[in-house]
């Protein structure tokens, strides 16, 4: 038995020396190391040996097996190495060929624009508060002083979630985040607040060059002890200066159920510098945001005593600002995923 094993080893290693390609290598492996190969056949016979011969034979069989496996691995590597050298020398690399261009990713223009807006508000001391996109009717409307069936609701065409009896909806604006920020950060109406609330909003609109069913808003909210309309104006004028440079802005009276008084801010048209063009509809000004002093009812719903606390809020449309900045003529480009558009930014 021991002799048989020894000679199997010698024979197998000799054969391996002669193996020159993958095919022959595989045949060698099957013949000597395979489940029905020569070594396996010998190992099967171990059991028939007299007891006292078994340990020595078993030990040698294992040694032979290990030796064959090691030799096999070495041969595999040697053949691979040889093939590599052959391919390198027969078709040499042309290191002067230009490389394949790498397509680099970049920020989506809407996100780049959002980050710029965050930066400006951050520099002015506003922290980001993330609020939810799936909202209740209560927070999106009622707590913002818009009761059920109130005609003010017509301003927000709403996607309701099926099967919730119109109690759950996709937020139509970021304003419900005001309630959540006041309740979560206000510590029962004891802490001042200075936050922006950015994020996606949804409206059931006929999609066109000017309207989309989804868009970002950035809401702002400041609550404190003696906040006045002058603070609102000063803060928004400073935002406009940082975002658009030195350009005139103007305020208009407006109406929102959650602010009193309410205003709209315009900035001088960036396309025509106020001379009048199609973008500003020949008015020389562009509407940038809605704003106002937080309505006492809303303060109360957020946990603040309106006799002691006051605040201002605003809501701006970042895509609208990007459209004005870059002269984008169709809002559908933002979510159309057309690389010809995205690669321009």
We find the least distance from the C-beta atom of residue 288 to ligand DAH, in angstroms, to be 11
- Alpha-carbon Rg for the chain, nearest whole angstrom, is 38
CB nearer to ligand DAH: pick between 216 and 259: 259
Binding residue (CB under 6 A) for ligand DAH from 313, 322, 323, 324: 313
CB atoms within 10 A of CB 238: 13
Assess 131 for contact with ligand DAH (CB under 6 A). no
Q: Of the ranges 184-192, 205-213, 277-285, 286-294, which one interacts with ligand DAH (CB under 6 A)?
A: 286-294
CB atoms within 10 A of CB 32: 24
Binding residue (CB under 6 A) for ligand DAH from 256, 285, 304, 333: 256
Assess 171 for contact with ligand DAH (CB under 6 A). no
We find the least distance from the C-beta atom of residue 254 to ligand DAH, in angstroms, to be 8
Tell me whether strands 168-170 and 249-256 are parallel, antiparallel or unpaired: unpaired
We find the least distance from the C-beta atom of residue 342 to ligand DAH, in angstroms, to be 26
Assess 223 for contact with ligand DAH (CB under 6 A). no
Q: Of the ranges 21-29, 45-53, 207-215, 290-298, which one interacts with ligand DAH (CB under 6 A)?
A: 290-298
CB nearer to ligand DAH: pick between 212 and 219: 219
| End-to-end C-alpha distance for the chain, whole angstroms | 78
Assess 311 for contact with ligand DAH (CB under 6 A). no
CB atoms within 10 A of CB 306: 16
Task: Determine contact, residues 287/137, Cβ cutoff 8 Å.
Answer: no
Assess 139 for contact with ligand DAH (CB under 6 A). no
CB nearer to ligand DAH: pick between 29 and 320: 320
* Interface mask toward ligand DAH for 52-91; x: CB under 6 A: ----------------------------------------
We find the least distance from the C-beta atom of residue 214 to ligand DAH, in angstroms, to be 13
User: Phi-psi category of 166—alpha, beta or left, where left has phi over 0 and alpha has psi -120 to 50?
Assistant: left
Nearest to 39 by CA among 57, 53, 25: 57
Residue sitting closest to ligand DAH (CB): 315
Assess 219 for contact with ligand DAH (CB under 6 A). yes
C-alpha span between 178 and 299 (Å, rounded): 9
Binding residue (CB under 6 A) for ligand DAH from 139, 140, 175, 216: 175
In this structure, the chain runs to a length of: 345
CB nearer to ligand DAH: pick between 202 and 285: 202
We find the least distance from the C-beta atom of residue 246 to ligand DAH, in angstroms, to be 25
C-alpha span between 324 and 328 (Å, rounded): 7
Binding residue (CB under 6 A) for ligand DAH from 259, 268, 301, 310: 259
Assess 257 for contact with ligand DAH (CB under 6 A). no
**CB neighbours of 305 closer than 8 A, spacing ≥ 6?**
189, 299
**CB neighbours of 299 closer than 8 A, spacing ≥ 6?**
182, 223, 305, 306, 309, 310, 311
Secondary structure (DSSP) of 272-298? TTTS--TTTTTSSEEEEEEEEEEPHHH
Binding site for ligand DAH (CB under 6 A): 173, 175, 219, 256, 259, 290-292, 313-315
């Amino acid at each position: 038995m021991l002799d048989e094993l020894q000679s199997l080893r010698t024979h197998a290693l000799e054969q391996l020396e002669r193996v020159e390609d993958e095919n022959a290598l595989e045949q060698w492996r099957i013949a000597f190391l395979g489940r029905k190969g020569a070594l396996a056949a010998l190992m099967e016979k171990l059991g028939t040996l007299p007891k006292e011969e078994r340990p020595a034979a078993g030990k040698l069989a294992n040694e032979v097996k290990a030796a064959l496996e090691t030799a096999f691995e070495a041969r595999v590597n040697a053949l691979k190495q040889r093939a590599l050298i052959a391919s390198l020398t027969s078709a040499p690399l042309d290191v002067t060929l230009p490389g394949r261009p790498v397509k680099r990713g970049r920020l989506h223009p809407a996100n780049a624009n959002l980050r710029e807006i965050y930066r400006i508000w951050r520099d002015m001391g506003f922290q980001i508060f993330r609020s939810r996109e799936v909202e209740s009717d209560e927070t999106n409307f009622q707590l913002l002083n818009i009761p059920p069936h109130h005609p003010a609701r017509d301003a927000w065409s709403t996607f309701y979630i099926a099967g919730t009896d119109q109690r759950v909806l996709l937020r139509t604006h970021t304003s419900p985040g005001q309630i959540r920020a006041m309740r979560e950060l206000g510590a029962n109406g004891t802490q001042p607040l200075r936050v922006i609330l950015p994020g996606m909003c949804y409206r059931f609109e006929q999609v066109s060059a000017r309207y989309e069913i989804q868009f970002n808003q950035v809401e702002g909210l400041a609550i404190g002890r003696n906040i006045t309309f002058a603070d609102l104006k000063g803060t928004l004028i400073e935002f406009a200066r940082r975002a658009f440079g030195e350009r005139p802005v103007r305020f208009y009276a407006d109406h929102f159920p959650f602010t009193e008084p309410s205003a709209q801010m315009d900035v001088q048209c960036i396309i025509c510098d106020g001379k009048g063009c199609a973008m500003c509809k020949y008015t020389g000004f562009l509407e940038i945001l809605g704003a106002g002093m937080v309505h006492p009812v809303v303060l109360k719903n957020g946990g603040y005593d309106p006799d002691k606390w006051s605040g201002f809020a605003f809501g701006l449309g970042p895509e609208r600002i990007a459209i004005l900045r870059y002269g984008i003529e169709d809002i559908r480009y933002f979510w159309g995923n057309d690389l010809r558009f995205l690669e321009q930014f």
